[in-house]
A and B are shown apart, each in its own frame.
Chain A
Amino acid sequence: MSALHIKQGSTSHSAYNLRPTFSDVQERHTIALLVENEPGVLARVIGLFSGRGYNIESLTVAEVDHTGHLSRITIVTTGTPQVIEQIKAQLGRIVPVHEVHDLTVEGPSVERELAMLKVVGEGDKRVEALRLADIFRANVVDSTLNSFVFEITGAPEKIDAFADLMRPLGLVEIARTGVAALLRGD
Chain B
Amino acid sequence: MTREMTGAKMVVQALKDQGVDTVFGYPGGAVLPIYDEVFLQNDIRHILVRHEQGAVHAAEGYARSTGKPGVALVTSGPGATNAVTGLTDALMDSIPIIVLTGQVPTFMIGSDAFQEADTVGITRACTKHNWLVKDTDRLASTIHEAFHVATSGRPGPVLIDIPKDVQFATGEYRGPKPSASHYQPRVKGDLEEITELVAAMETAKNPVFYTGGGVINSGPAASQLLRELVDATGFPITSTLMGLGAYPASGKNWLGMLGMHGLYEANMAMHDCDLMINIGARFDDRITGRVDAFSPNSIKAHIDIDPSSINKVIKADIPIVGDVAHVLEDILKIWKSRGRKTDAANVKKWQAQIADWRKVNCLAYTASETSIKPQYALERLEALTKDRNRYITTEVGQHQMWAAQFLGFEAPNRWMTSGGLGTMGYGTPASIGVQIAHPDALVINVAGEASWLMNMQEMGTAVQYRLPVKQFILNNERLGMVRQWQELLHGERYSHSWSEALPDFVKLAEAFGAKGILCKDPRDLDDAIMEMLEYDGPVIFDCLVEKHENCFPMIPSGKAHNEMLLGEADTQGVIQAGGAVLV
Contacts and interface: CB of A to CB of B under 8 A. Distances in A.
Given A20-B311, A93-B308, 5 more contacts: A18-B316, A40-B120, A89-B308, A93-B307, A98-B182
A154 interface: no
B399 interface: no
Nearest to B312: A86
B321 interface: yes
For the complex of A and B, 5 pairs with smallest distance between CB atoms: A89-B308, A18-B319, A95-B129, A89-B307, A90-B308
Interface string B109-139: 0000000000011001100110010000000
B310 A18 contact: yes
Contacts of B132: 39-40
B306 A40 contact: no
Interface in A15-46: 16, 18-20, 22, 36, 39-40, 43-44
A139 to B, nearest CB: 40
A13 B190 contact: yes
Nearest to B134: A39
Contacts of A92: 307-308
25 contacts: A13-B190, A14-B307, A18-B319, A18-B321, A19-B319, A36-B182, A39-B132, A40-B124, A40-B132, A43-B121, A43-B124, A47-B125, A82-B311, A89-B306, A89-B307, A89-B310, A89-B312, A90-B308, A92-B307, A92-B308, A93-B306, A93-B308, A95-B183, A96-B129, A98-B182
Contacts of A96: 129
Nearest to A94: B129
A43 B125 CA distance: 10
Interface size band for A:
20 to 34
**Residue among B154, B190, B311, B319 facing the most chain A CB atoms (10 A cut-off):** B311
A85 interface: yes
Interface string B308-334: 101110011001010000000000000
Given A13-B190, A40-B124, A93-B306, A22 B315 contact: yes
B301 to A, nearest CB: 12
A12 B321 CA distance: 13
Interface in A81-104: 82, 85-86, 89-90, 92-96, 98
A40 B125 CA distance: 12
Contacts of A14: 307
Interface size band for B:
20 to 34
A51 interface: yes
B273 interface: no
A44 B124 contact: yes
B317 to A, nearest CB: 8
A94 B125 CA distance: 11
Interface of A: 13-14, 16, 18-20, 22, 36, 39-40, 43-44, 47, 51, 82, 85-86, 89-90, 92-96, 98
Contact of B307 (A18, A36, A43, A82): A18
Nearest to B145: A95
Interface string B225-254: 000000000000000000000000000000
A22 B312 CA distance: 11
A89 to B, nearest CB: 4
Nearest to B306: A93
Contacts, number: 52
B106 to A, nearest CB: 12
Interface in B165-215: 182-183, 186, 190
B149 interface: yes
A96 B310 CA distance: 21
Contacts of B183: 95
A19 B190 CA distance: 14
Contacts of A90: 308
Contacts of A40: 120-121, 124, 132
Nearest to B183: A95
Contact of A16 (B128, B307, B316): B307
A105 to B, nearest CB: 15
Contacts of A36: 182
A52 B120 CA distance: 19
B125 A51 contact: yes
Given A14-B307, A18-B321, A93-B308, A47 B190 contact: no
A95 B311 contact: no
Contacts of A85: 311
Contacts of B190: 13
B321 to A, nearest CB: 7
A82 to B, nearest CB: 6
Contacts of B319: 18-19
Nearest to A93: B308
A95 B308 contact: no
A44 to B, nearest CB: 6
Nearest to A34: B182
Contacts of B306: 89, 93
Nearest to B192: A12
Nearest to B127: A95
Contacts of A94: 129
Contacts of A51: 125
Given A95-B128, A95-B149, A86 B308 contact: yes
B211 to A, nearest CB: 20
Interface string B386-426: 00000000000000000000000000000000000000000
Contacts of B121: 40, 43
B315 A47 contact: no
Nearest to B316: A18
A36 B131 CA distance: 13
Given A18-B311, A90-B308, A93-B306, A47 B128 contact: no
A77 B418 CA distance: 34
Contacts of A39: 132
Contacts of A43: 121, 124
A94 B308 CA distance: 11
A85 B312 CA distance: 9
A13 B322 CA distance: 12
